[in-house]
Chains A and B, each alone.
Chain A
Amino acid sequence: MAVGALLCLPLVRVAPNRLVSGEAVSFFTLLHGPVWVLAALLIGLFLLSLAPSRRVFLCSSVVAAAVLSVGLGVLAARHAIQVVQVDTPFARTALGSGLWLAWLLMGLVLADALQALRARTLARLGVAAAVLIPLALLLASGGADELSIMKEYANRSEEYWRAVVRHCQIVALALFFTLVIGLPLGWVAHRYLRAGRAMFPLLNIIQTIPSIALFGLLMAPLAWLAASWPALGRAGISGVGLAPGVLALTLYCLLPVVRGTLAGLAQVPSAVTQAAQGLGFSPGQLFWQAQVPLALPVVLGGVRTASIQAVGLAAVTALIGAGGLGSLMFEGLFSSAQDLVLLGVVPIVVLGALVDGVFKLLIRLARSATPALELAQ
């Protein structure tokens, strides 16, 4: 598998970095002075991809890919500053397709090498930090301010942060309601088979409704509710805005959570529950001491799927006025401002990755508390 992904590497050589959207600037035209180090690393990485997957080579690939990821970013930012100083102060330097592709491939190389090294979670987090922290410092120090995406940010920083907070709000609210409804539903589906059989077709149908259609469907009844009971309207329930967005997201997230809860409870060995009952566990003790800890890793898996889904889908709720990063993205789309789209999309991707990482860690923790359940069955 390592060889397969690394074979893609020549692409990096072939695909040059275009750093100006209007006029392409390739990586090779920027080759002067210290930049040669990056070129050397690139060649080195290519050679490493041909080398057998030994520990030494894999470790060197990780280092090379990490340095390249940071280095290319710095290079692009530096070039943007240069363009502004040398040419015209209004010049826009957008990140080119070559850089995005290079980052993507570096990510692949890193993930692949770490997989082959069977790196621990901590080591993975360390590598991620080694790449992301310098890039974050670059952003924070203003070194990247001349890139066009950062200019968009400078123009709307207040709006941007409001959108980020709103986005997190929407996701958190939707997850809260999903868990409050979904976990008990999953338990009910486990306890009463017939209820489960009735529940899943419904949840499956909800999943198949396109998100925009679901928002539309919810607008009418919610607007009616708000009109009929003005108190609800004052509490924030209306056809547009936060309420239908959160409601729709909740409906979407229910399926993975309910399914995860059911699967989690179902994989608790029946021998364990039977023995527990026979030994005199009360129903509460059985639930909290045996079922919950044993089901937790699988339940968390369902919640993880739901959370990532919510982070992505929350962007669409902007269409019905819920706000969030989606509003930046759609504004950019409708005005053909590509950098504005990116300003909305990149944080969504980062948020998704962050949520994913947090849940992976939680699941690992939950699993370490229930060693080798499959062997005990």
Chain B
Amino acid sequence: MIEFKNVSKTYGHTPDAPKALDDVSLSIGRGELVVLIGASGSGKSTLLKMINRMEQPDTGTLLLDGQDMARMPVRELRLRMGYVIQSVGLFPHWTVARNIGVVPTMLGWSRERITARVAELLSLFDLDPAAYGPRYPHQLSGGQQQRVGVARALAGDPDVLLMDEPFGALDPLIRAALQDEVKRIHQASGKTIVVVTHDIDEALRLGTQIVLLEQGRILQVGSPLALLSQPASERVADFVGRSDVGIKLLSLQGVGSLARVGAPENAPSLPISATLREAVSALALHGCNRLNLLDVTGSHAGVLHAADLFKHSRMGAQKGIEGSTHHA
């Protein structure tokens, strides 16, 4: 749905100024959750901001649903896209409800519809509309503020959600919770989401596609599995981390995939939503080779054997090779 064609961009006008983006071509499909990742100065943020025209390319074109974005009216384009930034940027003089309702208001929705939408979004982020709607941003914690920031970006029911390092300023626990929420929203709504991050774990956790950038060029595009198991170059391998690729691969797969049917054993238990990485951690911690798996209601859902885990992660890597050829 979004296509970059030979896009280049240089900040500053000196001839030797480094290129922020150097002949980038990229296609983002509808319903994907694409993570743009790279070190600072890699051009990932610039790439994101071109999608809602906060930045203009020097050369090259951007297409939205096949149409040249440079010809579209900027405001209408932005109203169709949600935008979340690291520093949140809630309007401090407006209540939470008014903050979330700002885009629907600009879109000319009726008051009842806006009120309903605000309540719906607050509930979606586990915030009681009656309690949090009338509050001011400074009365919220950092995590709550960013929830409201994401809710505000989603309020106008945009086709595309753009997130520029949305969770960078939050502590790890809250960051993980918000990552899960974004993932959930993506799966439930099927929206196209583009996230910028410099955190490889966040990228692996969130993305259906990962775009790895360095100095304005794309190093590799692929699924998390492909990036880990089939790095296109030494630089990619360096970036995803050589020593713990195995662990990261484990974190991509849920324990459910390896569950054996069987009666509960005399062993520690783990929720079935856990990843294989968490399973390894539990096995190491308790010094055992079996884990009971529990479903959401807490009832027995199978047994995980340590032996399967190591056998299957190798197979997972092989699957990854197939996956990467498929994506390419």
- Do the beta carbons of A269 and B79 come within 8 Å of each other? no
Does residue B54 face the partner (Cβ distance < 8 Å to A)? yes
Does residue B175 face the partner (Cβ distance < 8 Å to A)? no
Give, as a whole number of angstroms, the nearest-CB distance from A375 to chain B: 4
- Do the beta carbons of A371 and B89 come within 8 Å of each other? no
Which residues between 82 and 131 of chain B lie within 8 Å of chain A, taking CB atoms?
A: 82-83, 85, 87-93, 102-103, 106
Q: Which of A275, A280, A370 contacts B93 (CB under 8 A)?
A: A370
- Do the beta carbons of B102 and A279 come within 8 Å of each other? yes
Give, as a whole number of angstroms, the nearest-CB distance from B82 to chain A: 8
- Do the beta carbons of A275 and B138 come within 8 Å of each other? no
How far is B137's CA from A120's CA once the two chains are assembled, in angstroms?
25
- Do the beta carbons of A371 and B136 come within 8 Å of each other? yes
Does residue B229 face the partner (Cβ distance < 8 Å to A)? no
- Do the beta carbons of A269 and B138 come within 8 Å of each other? no
- Do the beta carbons of A275 and B92 come within 8 Å of each other? no
Q: Mark A263-307, 1 if CB is under 8 A from B, else 0.
A: 000000111111111111110010001100110000000000000
- Do the beta carbons of A272 and B92 come within 8 Å of each other? yes
Most buried by A among B52, B92, B137: B92
- Do the beta carbons of A272 and B89 come within 8 Å of each other? yes
How far is B90's CA from A272's CA once the two chains are assembled, in angstroms?
6
Does residue A376 face the partner (Cβ distance < 8 Å to B)? yes
Q: Which of A279, A290, A370 contacts B152 (CB under 8 A)?
A: A279
- Do the beta carbons of B75 and A372 come within 8 Å of each other? no
Does residue A373 face the partner (Cβ distance < 8 Å to B)? yes
- Do the beta carbons of A278 and B88 come within 8 Å of each other? no
- Do the beta carbons of A269 and B92 come within 8 Å of each other? yes
- Do the beta carbons of B92 and A376 come within 8 Å of each other? yes
How far is B149's CA from A289's CA once the two chains are assembled, in angstroms?
18
- Do the beta carbons of A371 and B106 come within 8 Å of each other? no
Contacts of A369 in B (CB 8 A): 93
Give, as a whole number of angstroms, the nearest-CB distance from A12 to chain B: 45
How far is B87's CA from A272's CA once the two chains are assembled, in angstroms?
9
Contacts of A271 in B (CB 8 A): 85, 87-89
Q: Which of B76, B88, B138, B162 contacts A371 (CB under 8 A)?
A: B138
- Do the beta carbons of A370 and B83 come within 8 Å of each other? no
Q: Give the tally of cross-chain contacts (CB within 8 A).
A: 75
Give, as a whole number of angstroms, the nearest-CB distance from A284 to chain B: 11
Contacts of A371 in B (CB 8 A): 92-93, 136, 138
Give, as a whole number of angstroms, the nearest-CB distance from B76 to chain A: 8
- Do the beta carbons of B85 and A275 come within 8 Å of each other? yes
Give, as a whole number of angstroms, the nearest-CB distance from B97 to chain A: 15
Interface of chain A, main secondary structure:
helix
- Do the beta carbons of B78 and A372 come within 8 Å of each other? no
How far is B92's CA from A372's CA once the two chains are assembled, in angstroms?
8
Give, as a whole number of angstroms, the nearest-CB distance from A301 to chain B: 17
Contacts of B92 in A (CB 8 A): 269, 272, 294, 370-373, 375-376
**With A269-B87, A285-B106 in contact, do A279 and B138 touch (Cβ < 8 Å)?**
no
- Do the beta carbons of A277 and B54 come within 8 Å of each other? yes
Contacts of A372 in B (CB 8 A): 92, 136, 138
- Do the beta carbons of B106 and A275 come within 8 Å of each other? no
Q: Which of B77, B79, B89 contacts A275 (CB under 8 A)?
A: B89
Contacts of B89 in A (CB 8 A): 269, 271-276
Contacts of B83 in A (CB 8 A): 275, 278-279
Does residue B270 face the partner (Cβ distance < 8 Å to A)? no
Which residues between 10 and 27 of chain A lie within 8 Å of chain B, taking CB atoms?
A: none
Contacts of A278 in B (CB 8 A): 52, 54, 78, 83, 85, 162
Closest to B87 in A: A271
- Do the beta carbons of A282 and B75 come within 8 Å of each other? yes
Give, as a whole number of angstroms, the nearest-CB distance from A357 to chain B: 24
Give, as a whole number of angstroms, the nearest-CB distance from A362 to chain B: 16
Does residue B153 face the partner (Cβ distance < 8 Å to A)? yes
Contacts of B138 in A (CB 8 A): 371-372, 375-376
Closest to A273 in B: B89
A274-B87, A279-B78, A279-B83 given; 13 more Cβ-contact pairs under 8 Å: A271-B87, A273-B89, A274-B54, A275-B88, A276-B89, A277-B78, A278-B85, A279-B79, A279-B103, A279-B152, A370-B92, A373-B93, A376-B90
Q: List 6 A-B contacts (CB under 8 A).
A: A269-B92, A270-B87, A278-B83, A280-B77, A290-B91, A375-B138
